[in-house]
Amino acid sequence: MSFRRILIANRGEIACRVIRTCNLMGIETVLAVSEADKNSLPAILADQIVIIGPASATSSYLDISNIINGAHTAKVDAIHPGYGFLSENAEFALACKENNIKFIGPSTTVLNSVGDKLQARSIAIQAGLPVVPGGDAADIKTSEEVAAKIGFPLLVKAVGGGGGRGMKLVTRQEDLLNSIELAKAEADAAFADARVYLERYVTNGRHIEVQVVGDGKSYIHLGDRDCSIQRRYQKLFEEAPAPHLPEKIRNELHASAIKLASFLEYEGLGTVEFLYDGNREEFYFLEMNARIQVEHPVTEMITGVDLVMEQIRIAEGLPLSLKQEDIVFQGHAIECRINAENWRNDFLPNPGMISKFKVPVGTGIRVDTHVQSGSTISPYYDSLVAKIITHGGDRQDAMEKMHLALKVFTIEGVDTTKSLHQLLVRDKDVQAGGMDTGFFNGFFAQHSQKGDLRG
């Protein structure tokens, strides 16, 4: 079936992003908004809005019944969940199905399978993928046995979530039980699921992910991305393709991602995340995100494929429009996430009104945002303001364009991470490429000592 009207159950820049593709496809858009977002830029851009609750995300963007009621009111054919919020929630996908509304994403079976990190590990093993050594932390005895087997340092990770929440690094045996309890409490608060598991910590690992898309019968990959520059497991800077990756490893990563998608009979857009140990030239499956990613633009830039359009086409029941041989990788792309945060003060969120907003333009420069001059950054939600993406003939070209784009990019009224990214793109190690996930801690400490954090 062809969709006539889609409800976007999200906010911010991803809502604007989905609206843009729907406009290209001739599909009407209805934006589900909280009271706090009813005058936002996405609300202005959408054909229609439905208010789904007060500012609190729990009572609006996370309230399944409110969203379904809004979808009925607007008489939509489908719901696009974006990322975050309910995008990987199997209960939400089931509610859509029970109400004859198409959920733009994979099946509830897949969402249940990959949403539970322990189950996802088990499925990856069945599909023939290598996983990081680890195991369950259901009780004290089991936790101590797993820790003794994999050794320290290790990570305590939440079974039901991601984004660094419910994750603790443990370097000593005596800290294990306390770290598990802290992780459980954090996971329970964030995901209403206190379960955690243990995983070996790969000291110099790189976070590499592979974009896949499938229609339940055919599957292709759209290359890889490097997301290793992270603060507390939150991505800051992403690029495609991953630099300085041995071609043998790159090909094996792509093949493993396809193998998992095929095993799951995957329908829609998905990202298979891996940890690459450059010292051993080995990689391990980490998790699969069954949704569009924040960093999807870098893949779009090097492939020319509109990933949101592919999501929608597959949800309409159409087969993949592309074969693997149709995918041609061109150049290099980089993305910097600009957040409304005072990064010099422990990345403290800085909500408020934007008094001036100016974006860079030019060949190979893209800005995904949901704000303009006069917009207000709400204290209720994620602090992401904009994503600046550059595309060049090679990595150096993309990096130079990013340097110029950040120089032009202007935002006043709130503190942002723009100046942090300016430091990053000028850093000799970042310019060389191939940083591991521990890079940012050292980078931050170095600039702290040099006084760059004083403003």
Q: What positions carry a catalytic annotation? A: 291
Chain centroid to Cα 36, Å, comes to: 24
The token duo for 313 is 């086409």
Chain centroid to Cα 79, Å, comes to: 19
Burial class for 438, CB neighbours closer than 10 Å (0-12, 13-18, 19+): middle
The token duo for 218 is 């055919």
Asked if 310 contacts 321 with a C-beta cutoff of 8 angstroms, the reply is: yes
Closest CA to 54 of 71, 69, 37: 37
Residue 322 CB neighbour total at 10 angstroms:
15
Give residues with Cβ within 8 angstroms of 437, minimum separation 6.
205, 206, 207, 228, 230
Q: How many CA atoms lie within 13 A of 212 on its CB side?
A: 32
**Coil vs helix vs strand at 269:** strand
Peptide linkage before 360 cis (omega within 30 of 0): no
Q: Which residues pair with 410 in a beta bridge?
A: 358
Give residues with Cβ within 8 angstroms of 229, minimum separation 6.
235, 236, 237, 238, 424, 430, 435, 439, 440
- Placement of tokens 């054919």 in the chain: 77
Give residues with Cβ within 8 angstroms of 109, minimum separation 6.
none
Give residues with Cβ within 8 angstroms of 65, minimum separation 6.
95
* Separation between Cα atoms, residue 321 and residue 344, nearest integer Å: 46
The token duo for 191 is 């995901």
Kind of pairing between the strands at 219-231 and 205-215: antiparallel
- Placement of tokens 């990689």 in the chain: 283
Sign of torsion, CA 85 87 90 92?
Answer: positive
Q: Which residues pair with 396 in a beta bridge?
A: none
Length of the chain measured in residues = 455
Give residues with Cβ within 8 angstroms of 200, minimum separation 6.
132, 133, 134, 150, 151, 154, 155
Distance linking the first and last C-alpha atoms of the chain: 55
